[in-house]
Amino acid sequence: MLQNIRKNLKGTIAMVIITLMIIPFAITGIDSLLTGGGVQYLAEVNGERISAADVQVQVNQQKRRLLMTMGDNIDPSMLDDQLLVGPALDQIIQKSLLMQAARDYGLAVPEQLLVDFIGDMDVFKIDGQFDPVRFRQIVSDQGYTPAGFQQALREDLVVTQLRLGLAGSTFATGHEIERLARIEQEQRDLRYMVLPLDKFRTDAEITDVDVAAWYEANQDQYMTEETVTLSYIELTRDDFTRPVDEDRLREVFEIEKSAYQRPEERRVSHILITPADDEDDAAVLARIASVQARLEGGEDFAAVAGDLSDDIGSAAAGGDLGFTDGSLFPEEMETAIAELDLDQVSAPVETDAGFHLIKLTEFRDGESVSFEDVRGELEERLAAEEASRELVKTVEKLRDLAFNAEDLADPAAELELEVERSAPITRDQSDGLFADPRLIAAAFSSDVITEGYNSEVVEIDTEHFVVLRAEEHRLPELKSLETVRDGIVADLRDEAARQNIRDTAGELLAQLRTAEGASIESLAQAGGYEWQVELATTRSNPAAPDSLLRRAFQLPAPEEGQTTFEYAQNAEGDIELFELVKVIPGNAETIGEGQRRLIERQLIGEYGRQADEYFQQQLRSDADITRS
What CATH number did the domain enclosing 302 receive? 3.10.50.40
pLDDT of residue 15: 35
CA pair distance 499, 202, nearest whole angstrom: 12
Domain boundary among 310, 331, 364: 364
List Cβ neighbours of 145 (8 Å cut-off, separation of 6 or more).
Answer: 139
- What pLDDT digit, counting tens, does each position of 463-480 carry? 899 999 999 999 999 999
CA pair distance 99, 160, nearest whole angstrom: 10
Q: 275 and 296: one domain?
A: yes
Element at 231 (helix H, strand E): strand 227-236
Chain-centre distance of CA 590, in angstroms? 42
CA pair distance 120, 125, nearest whole angstrom: 8
- Contact in structure between 61 and 143 (CB atoms under 8 Å): yes
pLDDT of residue 569: 94
3-class secondary structure, 337? helix
Chain-centre distance of CA 435, in angstroms? 21
Which DSSP state fits 237? G
> In whole numbers, what is the pLDDT of the chain averaged over residues?
85
Element at 99 (helix H, strand E): helix 81-104
pLDDT of residue 39: 61
Give, in order, the Cα–Cα distances in Å from 146 to each of 142, 152, 275, 345.
11, 10, 28, 27
CA pair distance 327, 324, nearest whole angstrom: 7
Q: 358 and 265: one domain?
A: yes
CA pair distance 390, 60, nearest whole angstrom: 25
Q: 537 and 603: one domain?
A: no
Q: 457 and 426: one domain?
A: yes
List Cβ neighbours of 517 (8 Å cut-off, separation of 6 or more).
Answer: 511
- Contact in structure between 333 and 356 (CB atoms under 8 Å): yes
Higher local confidence (pLDDT), 32 or 555: 555
Angle between helices 593-622 and 174-185 (to 10 degrees): 120
Q: 360 and 262: one domain?
A: yes
Domain that holds residue 553: 187-223+481-584
CA pair distance 510, 529, nearest whole angstrom: 17
Would residue 48 count as lying in a domain? no
- What pLDDT digit, counting tens, does each position of 16-54 carry? 333 333 333 332 332 333 334 456 888 999 999 998 888
- What pLDDT digit, counting tens, does each position of 478-518 carry? 999 999 999 999 999 999 999 999 999 999 999 999 867 78
CB atoms within 10 A of CB 437: 14
Assessment of whether the complete model's pTM goes beyond 0.85: no
Number of residues that this document lists for the chain = 628
Would residue 298 count as lying in a domain? yes
CA pair distance 564, 292, nearest whole angstrom: 83
- What pLDDT digit, counting tens, does each position of 334-378 carry? 999 999 999 999 999 998 889 999 999 999 877 777 888 888 888
pLDDT score of 10 more than 60: no
Q: 458 and 421: one domain?
A: yes
Would residue 93 count as lying in a domain? no
R_g (Cα) of the chain, nearest Å: 37
CA pair distance 190, 514, nearest whole angstrom: 19
Band of residue 142 on the pLDDT scale cut at 50, 70, 90: confident
Band of residue 259 on the pLDDT scale cut at 50, 70, 90: low
CA pair distance 55, 43, nearest whole angstrom: 10
Q: 424 and 436: one domain?
A: yes
pLDDT of residue 122: 87
Amino acid at 250: R
Would residue 282 count as lying in a domain? yes
Q: 540 and 605: one domain?
A: no
Spell out a b/e string for 375-403, using b for 16 or more CB atoms within 10 Å of the CB, else e. eeebbeebbbebbeebbbebeeebeebbe
Q: 468 and 516: one domain?
A: no
Please give the share of the chain, as a percent, with pLDDT higher than 90: 51
Give, in order, the Cα–Cα distances in Å from 140 to each of 61, 136, 146.
11, 6, 8
Nearest to 384 by CA among 252, 233, 243, 234: 243
- Contact in structure between 595 and 153 (CB atoms under 8 Å): no
Spell out a b/e string for 308-320, using b for 16 or more CB atoms within 10 Å of the CB, else e. bbbbebbbeebbb
- What pLDDT digit, counting tens, does each position of 186-203 carry? 999 999 999 999 999 988
CA pair distance 103, 108, nearest whole angstrom: 8
Q: Burial of 446 by CB count in 10 Å (0-12 exposed, 13-18 middle, 19+ buried)? A: exposed
Would residue 235 count as lying in a domain? yes
Would residue 442 count as lying in a domain? yes
Q: 409 and 343: one domain?
A: no
Would residue 491 count as lying in a domain? yes
Domain count, the chain: 5
pLDDT of residue 261: 67
Q: 416 and 447: one domain?
A: yes
pLDDT of residue 178: 83
Would residue 193 count as lying in a domain? yes
Amino acid at 152: A
- What pLDDT digit, counting tens, does each position of 78-128 carry? 777 788 888 889 999 999 999 999 888 888 887 777 888 888 888 888 877
State the CATH number of the domain containing residue 404: 3.10.50
Domain boundary among 453, 474, 495: 474
3-class secondary structure, 367? strand
Cα 219-222-223 angle, rounded to 5 deg: 95
Domain boundary among 335, 364, 393: 364
pLDDT of residue 258: 66
Q: 568 and 620: one domain?
A: no
